[in-house]
Structure 1
Amino acid sequence: AEAADYGIHPALLDAALQPLGLGLLLAEPGEGMTRRPFAWSGVTLHAQGAVAGRVRIALAGEDAVSVTVADPAGRPVASVDVLTLRQVAAKQVAEARSDSLFRVEWVPVAVSRSSAPAGRWALIGSGNGSGSGSSSGHGDVDVHEDLGSLAAAAGPVPELVFAPFPDAAESTDITDSAIASDAVRRATHRALDLVQAWLADERFAASRLVILAGQGLAGGPVWGLVRSAQMENPGRFVLIETGGSGDAEPDGELLAAAAVGDEPQLRLDGGEFCAPRLVRVPWPDAAGPGFGAEGTVLLTGSSGGLARLLARHLVAERGVRNLLLASRSGAAAEGMPKLVAELTGLGAAVEVAACDVADREALAGLLAAVPAERPLSAVVHTAAVLDDGVVEALTPERIDRVLRPKVDGALNLHALTEHLDLSAFVLFSSLSGTLGGAGLANYSAANAFL
C-alpha cells in the first residue's frame, strides 16, 4: 500500500541491488573491505508505485554497473546508466552502527485545558480503574455500556469517545500461564471488537476513539493492536496511558484536550502528559550477558531465518558449545541438516527437537531431557507466526494464532525456568510492537506483550 507514496519504494530499490552481493559481476572486495553505492548518474524513473520488479544489472566500468528495473509485465520502472560503487572498510560500516541504536523516551508535551472540545463526549464501559474523567465537572459526558448502546442512542455523535481498559492482569501470577494468557486474549479480543465496530460505523467517521489503557501484561497487546490500527486509519484513534503515580482520577477535561491534539499516543502521570520519541543511545561497549560454554542454550523458533542467524552468532561470536534448537518442525524443517552441519563444523554440539513451546507439557518434557552434565544455561525465544491482514479483516482466531507462540511460549518458558540459574533469558520482540505496522495488528499486539 505504501508503494504509491514513492517514486520507487526504498525496499524495492534495495532488493533490486541485492544481486551485487553475489560476487558474479564484480571482483571480490579486498580483505576486510565491502562495497557500497557511491555515485548515481543517468537515473530515470519511468513509472511510479511498482510493488514488484525484474532487474537487469550489467557492468558499466570498473566498480560500476548499470541497473534496469521493470515490472512483472516487462514495463520499465526505473533505470540507472551508471552506479559507481566504492570499497570501504567493513570496520567503518560496523562503527556506523554506533548511531543506529534507539530506545523509546517519553518526553513532556504541552496540553492546554482550553483546547478541550465544547461538545459532548461519551464514555463506554464502567471506567473502573481507568480514570475515565466522567466526574471531571465537564457535565456533557454520556456514559454507555458499550459502543453498540452509544450507536443506538439518540442525539448527535460525540466528538470523543473514551474506552477504558482496566488492566486486570496486572495482579495475575504469570507463573500460571493459562490464567495470564487468558487475560491477554480477553483484552486483545475486546480491543479488536471495539476497533472493528468503530471503523464499521460511518457515524463515527469524524470522531476519535480514545483508548485508556496501561501497558502492563494485558494492556501492552492492546497498545500494539491499536498502534497498527492508527497506522491504517490516521486520526481515528488515540492511545492514552493513565494510572500513573498521581492519576487516581485523571481530569476528564484535560484528557479531552490531549485527545484532540496531534499526538496519537500519550502517557499521563502526575498531571503531566508525555509522548513517545525514538532517541539514539550509545552502542554498548560490553558484549552483554554471557551464555556459558559448558551449559546448553535453548533457541526456540529455530526453523526461522532470525534464529538461524542467531545460532551462528552464538556459536561463532559468543562461544556457545551446546545448542538445543527447538521448533514445531524440528529436524524436518527445510535447511536444518545444513545448519546443523555448519554449526557442528564451528565446534558446537547441536541437538534438534520438535517442540511447540506454547504447549506447556511438551516444553516441560523438552527441558527435563536436557542432560545434567550440560544444564540449561540460557534461553533465546524467537518463535513467531505471521497471519497478516488489515485490522478490519482480522478475527479472534487470527489474533490467537499469532499470540500463541509469543505470549504462551514466553509465559511457559518463564514459568518452567524461573527456578534455574540462567545467565540469559532473551525474548525477541519486533519493531512492530513499538511502532505498529499496517497489516500487522495481531503481530504488533503479540510483540508488544514481550
Structure 2
Amino acid sequence: VQVQVHVGDSDGGSGRRTVTVSSREGEGEWVRNAVGELAPVGSEPVPAPLGVWPPAGAVAVPVDDAYDRLARRGYGYGPAFQGLRQVWQAGGTVYAEVELPQVIDSDAAGFGLHPALLDAALHGLLAAGAGNGNGGTELPFAWSGVRLLASDARRLRVAFASGPGGVSVTAFDGAGEPVLQVRSLALREASAGQLTGTGRQVRQSLFTVDWVPLPAPQTPDTAAVQWVRHGESGGAEVAPVVVAPVPAAPLGVPVPEVAQLAAVTVLGWVQEWLADPETDNARLVVWTQGVA
C-alpha cells in the first residue's frame, strides 16, 4: 500500500494549511483516508505540570484482563500495542498510565510520540467503558486542537475528560511534565464488516511460516544424503536428498544486504535445480544457520 500525505499552500492570512492523507493499492485509484488542517500554535496555555497521581478520589479500574475484554469487542492488539498498565476513573474523567512494551522500547528514538504509546493511551478510555457504552468497536475519528509539547516519552500519564464535543486528552511523562494536549477527540463506531473487509476482497499482505515436522525413518540411510557446498558441483549422480547449506554472512555486512544476498543465492540454486533433468527424482534441502 502506498500512502501519500499532502500539505497545501498557506492561506496567506492565518497561516493555515490543509492536510490530506490518501492511499492506494498497486496502481489503483487514490482513496482519501483523512483530511485535516495545520495551523500555527494558538494562545492556549500549556498545561501545568502534573501534581498528585492518581488524583485524589479516583477509583481504580481492573485492567488484568483488559486486552481479553477488548478482544471480545473487536480490538486485536499484539504485544507491541499492549502498553496499558493502570486505569482510574473519577466521575466523567478517566486516568490511564501506559508505557512502551519492551519489544519496541528501543524504537522510541526519532518519534515525537511513538504511535504505539499514543494508541495504548486510548486503550485506557476503552477499558473504562467511557465511549458510547454499547460495547461496540470505536475508533478515533476526529482530532481537534492537537499540540505535541515534548518528545521521546516512553511512559505517559493521561487524563481524558468527557465534554459535549468529545473527549479532551492531556498526557504527561513520568516526571509529570506535559507531553500532549488534544482539545477534542471524537470516536466513531466501526462495523465488523469495515474492519474485516466483508463484501470485498480481503488483502493478505502478511505471511507467516509454519514449521511442519516430517516423520524421520527409523534407520536413516546416510548414503542417500549428499552434501553440496556453495560453488561445488553435485557430481554426475544425484543422491535422493541433496543438502545445500547457505554460506554464513561476512562480518560487518548490514542485515538488509545479508538477507538480499541469501535470497539471491538460494533463488539461483532452485532455478538451476529445476532446470536440471538429473534432479527430477531428488529432493533439495536448503539449510540455513544462525537464524534468530
Could you tell me the TM-score, scaled by structure 2's length? 0.39
Could you tell me the TM-score, scaled by structure 1's length? 0.27
Higher gyration radius (CA): 2
Higher relative contact order (CA 8 A, sep 6+): 1
Q: Which has the higher helix share?
A: 1
Q: Which has the higher strand share?
A: 2
